[in-house]
Amino acid sequence: MPSPLKALYDDQGYVIIPGLLDDNDRVALKDACERVIKKTRDGSWPHRRVVGKQFPPYGDSDPDSWGVQHAMHPELKEAAFVRWYTSPKVIAQVAELLDCGKNDLQMELFNILINPLSHNFALRWHRDDVNEKATKEEEQEALAIWHHGVQWNTALYTDSCLFIVPRSHKTPRTEEQRKHSETQMPPEDPLAMPGSICVRLQPGETVFYNSNILHCGTYNCLEKRATLHACMGDARGGSTRARNILQHNLEWMKGSSFRETLPDNRSWGMLDRLIRMQESADGSKFAYSLAG
Ligand SMILES: O=C(O)CCC(=O)C(=O)O
Ligand SMILES: [Fe+2]
């Protein structure tokens, strides 16, 4: 029997929970974020989400950033990120929401979302792995297979950047919703999207969501944001998540210097399952999920 939380997650396409960070995690992760955000802003960490570019490849066309990529990268030397991502608390929560065994879990992305410094920026309404021009049938087909992974945002500071349309992870867009999400233009008012809500997180709260739920983001350069943004898969989904995950270029995760930072057999297994997905996708053409 799935748990009540899992049933709520399946129904709404998201759930908000407190308690994924204890006081020690919070202090360690805040300090680690401060250091990597500084490196990103001063140009010494090149893997970043660049203002002006909504989806990968993020390029380098603006000095301002809205995210730090690859928090667990060994060259950042910030052990707090791996420690938390592989912690029993996070693992148990993800396994519950995916309704899978801990030995099915697949290591995926861990990035940090931050406020730009010099101008506001926004992401259009989108589903992470479905093109904005997809027909109703194509949307239906994509949504039907998108349950082998979960994404989450854990706020270190109050965060009201994310907007979603609850329950839209299961159903194609209505005609009216299509009008608000068919172009690459970010919305002037996210709440003009029928059915949308703003996801407000207090420090320490986490929203877990299906990344093919209709969502968008607005980034205010005057409001501090440092939100842990991660996802994990259920390897029983085979290659369903390959394009969306591998578009972030995870070659660095194959090397021994990353493997050596992992704490236990379980996390090695999680990494092995990611590498297996990478290897089985090697023959197919590398592709990006969304343009713009
Ligand atoms: O800023 C956020 O919380 C959402 C980011 C997002 O939707 C994305 O990177 O695809
Ligand atoms: Fe997204």
pLDDT tens sequence across 258-269: 999 999 999 999
Q: To which residue do tokens 């989904």 refer? A: 237
**Could you tell me which of 22, 158, 13 has the C-alpha nearest to residue 87?**
22
Q: What is the H or E stretch that residue 206 is in?
A: strand 206-209
Task: Give just the sign of the alpha carbon dihedral 279, 281, 283, 285.
Answer: negative
Residue nearest atom 3 in ligand 1 by C-alpha distance: 162
- The strands making up 65-68's β-sheet, listed across from edge to edge, are 14-17, 206-209, 149-155, 226-234, 105-114, 65-68, 48-50
Residue 199 — φ and ψ, nearest 5°? -90, 105
Mean pLDDT, residues 189-210 taken together: 98
pTM of this prediction? 0.97
Q: What is the pLDDT of residues 148-180, one digit of tens each?
A: 999 999 999 999 999 999 999 999 999 999 999
141 phi and psi angles, rounded to 5 deg: -65, -45
Residue to substitute in 207, 215, 247 for testing ligand 1 pocket (most ligand atoms within 8 angstroms of CB): 215
Rounded average pLDDT over 100-109: 98
Task: Compute the distance between CA of residue 98 and CA of residue 149 in angstroms, rounded to an integer.
Answer: 7
Identity of the residue numbered 223: E
pLDDT(105) > 70: yes
Which percentage of the chain shows pLDDT scores above 70? 99
If you take atom 1 of ligand 1, which residue's CA is the nearest one?
A: 217
**285 pLDDT more than 80:** no
Angle at 206 between CA 269 and CA 219, to 5 degrees: 110
d(CA 112, CA 36): 9
Sheet holding 121-126, edge to edge: 121-126, 215-219, 159-164, 197-201
Instruction: Give the confidence band of 2 by pLDDT, cuts at 50, 70, 90.
Output: confident
With CA atoms as reference, report the closest residue to 209 among 21, 3, 17. 17
Q: What pLDDT shows up at residue 283? A: 62
Which residues have CB under 6 Å of ligand 1? 113, 123, 128, 153, 161-162, 215, 217
- Give the whole-angstrom CA distance, residue 196 versus residue 241: 26
CATH number assigned to the domain with residue range 4-281, chosen from the 4 options 3.30.460.80, 3.40.50.620, 2.60.120.620, 3.40.50.2000:
2.60.120.620
CA 276 – ligand 1 centroid, Å: 26
Rounded CA separation 108/47 (Å) = 16
Q: Provide the H-helix boundaries in the chain.
A: 4-12, 23-41, 79-85, 88-98, 136-144, 175-179, 242-246, 256-259, 265-281
C-alpha dihedral (226, 22, 81, 268), degrees to nearest 10:
-150
